Copies of this chain bind each other. A is one copy, B any other.
Amino acid sequence: MATKEEIENFMITDFPQAKCIVESVGEQSATVRHAIGFDELRPGGTVSGPVLMAVADYALYVAILGELGMVSHAVTTSLTINFMRKPSPAKDIIGKCTLLKIGKSLVVGEVSLYSEDDTNAVAHVVGTYSIPK
């Protein structure tokens, strides 16, 4: 299994644009964080949907690296998001990923997204990644 530091270095090198940070990596799971500022907001004072999708995608990738090691050409094949509550414009978004299946070529995971310190998820994601051989 990869360590949190290995994964952080990998993500910084390979996704220099991403604004997420790795909070923790566990058994088939990961938690990530995304700071929220003007760039992430949309009218009505809430976090834009694409930001939430990006956090979920990042959390999935981190959980996969934690489980499979530094697989650098894994790609998302599908992602479904349900938006459930209005995120706070003043809180970080926290993404908590749990992997549901680790197959030879396909990984399935789910991510619950939260405004920090809130126990009700703002959105829920199920995504699949294809793992190159």
Contacts and interface: CB of A to CB of B under 8 A. Distances in A.
A83 B72 contact: no
Contacts of A41: 17
Contacts of A105: 105
A84 interface: yes
Interface in A50-80: 50, 53-54, 57, 72-73, 75-80
A128 B79 contact: no
B15 A42 contact: yes
Contacts of A54: 48, 50, 53
A12 to B, nearest CB: 12
B43 A15 contact: yes
Contacts of A27: none
A124 B106 contact: no
Interface in A11-42: 14-15, 17, 38-39, 41-42
Given A17-B39, A43-B72, A121-B100, A108 B82 contact: yes
Given A39-B17, A42-B15, A124-B100, A77 B106 contact: yes
